[in-house]
Structure 1
């Protein structure tokens, strides 16, 4: 990598990290509700719906419980998103070398590669966060993220920390492919419609709308993988595990609840998608434009 390419990647990394922090701060409460709904027992659910979940968490554990496990994602997801965006922009420059215009499949491929790259970080970060989110005041096995990492790694090694990696990688690769393809399509369409030559001229409110739209498209196509991932990451370890593989988990969900089982807890995700992804892309584009000429 040349000095210029390294400098640009560093700027993309910083802008991505900024977008990642915004993503966590806006989305953490929604994510907590999503995980609680996804991981509860089908036969005897504790929560009737997303609103009931919020009410019971607030009443029994306090409103601060909606931010359980937030230290890990603030540090981890910020870094994950920075890797995702920096990788995506690098692949874009690779495809666009020599002045070539990127095709629709290339946008998807660039997004999928960036998602796969970030999944090696996203997997363990989300696993630790989920273990903390499903704890109640009456059932606390871990005192915090470091204690959770220590206990899991000491008993089950790195394999325990990386539990649920396969469905995470599938979700991140396919989801990110759809995510960035949708965003770039909307950006390109807006620039052509208004005859803009620089994406920095696109109003901030439009960036938020585009970000919300790509968040919706990503989750519609990637959510079934997320359900399987959450089931596995809240499952027991080794002999205590209900699911021996992601495929077994998927078959179990289908046999019990049909296709609707793969969209359990989807409403809070849809509600979350707009503000979270709108904030992510707005902050990313704003910071990226600010550091471009540094």
Structure 2
């Protein structure tokens, strides 16, 4: 009997080190002695991961700091994770569960999208479509934000992009979606600030803040109760004029993002990227392909923005 206890304790200690269920492995160790000891030695460490996770994307500060603990609805194991509604994976049983906005946890399918994520994606789509044309840079920025902020599965990413495309033409208004999001997250300031930050990142993707885009983001801030934070969030992407008034010209950081470069890159790297973007977006290239007049007009704007960004970066070095 003494040996059984010793084996059970040894197995439990190893289970704890590998982040496994200590009680379960203690019982197994007591019943089967040395066999589970060998098994636990070769088991990989248990690890938890989330399907939707906070992260830092270019121009978008999506940080989730608060932690909560809940019991897994599948195995009952105690799980600690970030306090944001979404899908999470239990480190003990490996099943995915949903943490809801009201604090409850429930069983879920991995390919389901949380309502809050759907609403945020709809806002992205409405903003990108506001000026009539959804540019390649805006789509690329949305994709980057979605991947880094939500860490979706392949199935979820497909659903998100389908929703994005459909929402561009839906009858639902930007204001209505904003109100639903505010109610859905129960006024969670951190989530709402991150949403506004992401909206500015999308607006800055084309190098300037259009009047229509600014109006929409102001509306969102008002609905979210963030009217007083509007200018500080905007300043992360757009600079100030010489008179101290807000400017629609992009900030230096936004210029680097537009050229897909970093401040640490050399002049040669930046110049090479600048030439690649000019070549890629040049109107003559589109004309040779028989592009529409609107596309050519958009390309001219894009080239001008790339040139301004390059000049701003070079002047600051």
- Into which bin does the TM-score normalised by the smaller protein fall? under 0.3
State the TM-score, normalizing by the size of structure 1: 0.25
- The structure with higher relative contact order (CA 8 Å, sep 6+) is 1
Q: Mark the structure with the bigger radius of gyration.
A: 2
